Structure 1
């Protein structure tokens, strides 16, 4: 599928709870990140999906061996990349992509447990979709929020490397940083989706572990 043909998330038809989908970051014609997930809720406000530990996933690695963050940091964003298959480990994650927002929020639970450990805010393009996949592009910078609502930015150093290595212009990096500030304002106001109570979510036990197509 050409991403130019994708439609914005938040418009019908919506996916029913329990529907298996793919959640992809990056150009699917190139090495990219992708996770099969199960839809929890999908409507005009947000897409909510579940990712259990043990799920097979697509990852990006360096063509010379190793993971994306392995090797010389000076080539993190310039090294040739290859597609890898791995497994999502350690945590079950509920992801919420609010419609039209340039970020999604991930609720982290230790694998198989109901204990909530915190929110991870992934800065990214607003989602678009086709019949069975939602697409976005990761923006490197992230925000971690503790259960007590304290928070800090993650991967600030990687955003600086992305500018140095030509992935982003300084202006683009400034806009990404501005989005992080907007997220922090939402956290300070405790607006949605943080206030929506997903910390107590547990999946339908009949849902199978999602699989790659």
Structure 2
């Protein structure tokens, strides 16, 4: 399954059959290397929150997993425009962050289960399982792990956590780190100067079907 450049798709994180977050994006390219998507500033997004409005990262995981109810909170992407690359078959994606002037700031390796695509005709998307541990790679290709404490906290609840193999997650991170240290694709400068077509403005609202049942 390939997506046409320019098509609006939704990138969704799935946690045990529930949608953790959803972000509409435009397809930049989709080829043998993988799927490249663009999220504009102010794009409408949604994320799962506790019934009282708190997000999963603002409360102890032990409390989150015992909550009797959750809901979707709608907002706008408040960060800078974001480029995301999902390499074919890889258990991670690579994100390009920029500063307020639109200049490349850093790469971000988001460790996740390989995306599963779907296409309903009127809307398509890719569902991943975010594995929480990440790697920040600076322009000089130095790096650091991110969210290690959060990762460790959740691993203490294996019956509720969606990550089953800590070693596999870290090994995937180390594979991406090795590419970054060597300056190999996609850490070779590719897409660091990307600029979207001017007509790729943020959509006015989440597209109908964004909350369809996950495929994972």
Q: Same fold by TM (over 0.5)? A: yes
Aligned residue number for residue 64 of structure 1: 52
For residue 92 of structure 1, the aligned residue among 58, 81, 92 is 81
Aligned residue number for residue 148 of structure 2: 156
Helix, strand or coil at the partner of 1:152: strand
Question: By how many angstroms is 1:91 displaced?
Answer: 1.1
Matches within 5 A, 1:99-110: 99-110=88-99
Deviation string for 1:44-99 (max 9, x for gaps)?
21100100110010112122332221233543555453321111113110000000
Deviation string for 1:139-184 (max 9, x for gaps)?
0100001111111000111111111123449961122112111111
Q: Which one has the bigger helix percentage?
A: 1
Stretch moving more, 68-77 or 157-166: 68-77
How many residues are aligned here? Answer: 200
Structure 1 spans left out of the alignment, 5+ residues: 1-11
Distance 1:31 1:72 in 2: 19
8 A Cα contact 1:55 1:209, kept in partner: yes
Aligned residue number for residue 183 of structure 2: 190
Structure 2 spans left out of the alignment, 5+ residues: 208-216
Aligned residue number for residue 208 of structure 1: 201
Q: Which one has the bigger strand percentage?
A: 2
Asked if 1:174 is matched to 2:167, the reply is yes
For residue 136 of structure 2, the aligned residue among 141, 144, 148 is 144
Distance 1:32 1:170 in 2: 14
**Once superposed, what is the RMSD of the aligned Cα atoms?**
2.2
Distance 1:176 1:54 in 2: 31
Distance 2:34 2:132 in 1: 22
